[in-house]
Amino acid sequence: MALSHAILALLIDSPYSGYDLAKDFDQSVNFFWKATHQQIYRELSKLEEQALVEVSTIAQAGRPDKKLYHITKAGETFLIEWLLQPCEVMPIKEDLLVKLWAAQLIPVAHAIEQSASVAKLIEEFQRHRELHQQRLATYHQIERKFYPDSDHLPIAQKYRYLVLRRGIRYETDYIEWCDEVLKLFANQAEGKGV
């Protein structure tokens, strides 16, 4: 997937100014596809050059004109063609997994410096757990606010709801996994072994 696909997907429902698009991107797509505002603006320019979006200008009193970006028929076709192509399963690329893989290098509770090393690793897993807990809470807020009656959504909203549900499941699983790791560290520290 490219950033262009994410931007075009947001433009399906309504036109956006660059600012509003970047803001909405931050509150939706950015949870699973990262992009800076600069990247979004650059990509909008490219999409305009490719005639996948068009721009209308709205005059504003005492302020610069506002540019609204609209997806074109060519943009919709481009997005549909991409939708129909198979996509690769993305490999997991996460530092924390490599750290856990190598954690055996730190014997637990034998010397003060080793205990301090284990404590740092435990802190790192607790920090990640907390970050995922916060993101899960955000997803649940979004669910309550925008999808209070998920059984009766129009089809476009159902698709988006399922994207949110995937995020909820991911965060829930990540938290449970962190709990498993932290339990292992606790058992080792108490001499219970694995």
pLDDT per residue over 160-192, tens digit each? 999 999 999 999 999 999 999 999 988 877 766
The torsion angle over the Cα atoms of residues 180, 182, 188 and 193, rounded to 10 degrees, is 0
Residue-level pLDDT at 112? 46
Q: How far apart are CA 72 and CA 67, in angstroms?
A: 15
Q: Across 8-12, 25-29, 95-99, which has the greatest mean pLDDT?
A: 8-12
Sorting pLDDT into bands at 50, 70 and 90, what band is 91? Answer: confident
Token pair listed for 130:
């907390």
- The residue-averaged pLDDT of 75-87 equals 95
User: Could you tell me the strand order of the sheet in which 16-17 lies?
Assistant: 16-17, 63-71, 53-60
Query: Is 41 a residue whose pLDDT tops 80?
Result: yes
Residue-level pLDDT at 102? 85
Residue of 55, 58, 20 whose CA lies nearest to 37: 20
- Tokens 């075009």 locate to 8
Sorting pLDDT into bands at 50, 70 and 90, what band is 17? Answer: very high
| Contact by Cβ (8 Å): 74, 34 | no
Least confident stretch, 20-24, 53-57, 99-103, 187-191: 187-191
148 sits in which H/E element: none
Higher-scoring residue by pLDDT: 112, 141: 141
Residue-level pLDDT at 70? 97
For the chain, domains (ranges, CATH) are 3-84 (1.10.10.10), 95-190 (no CATH)
Which residues are 169's β-sheet partners? Answer: none
Query: Is 38 a residue whose pLDDT tops 70?
Result: yes
pTM: 0.79
Sorting pLDDT into bands at 50, 70 and 90, what band is 111? Answer: very low
Residue-level pLDDT at 169? 98
Query: Is 101 a residue whose pLDDT tops 90?
Result: no
Residue-level pLDDT at 121? 87
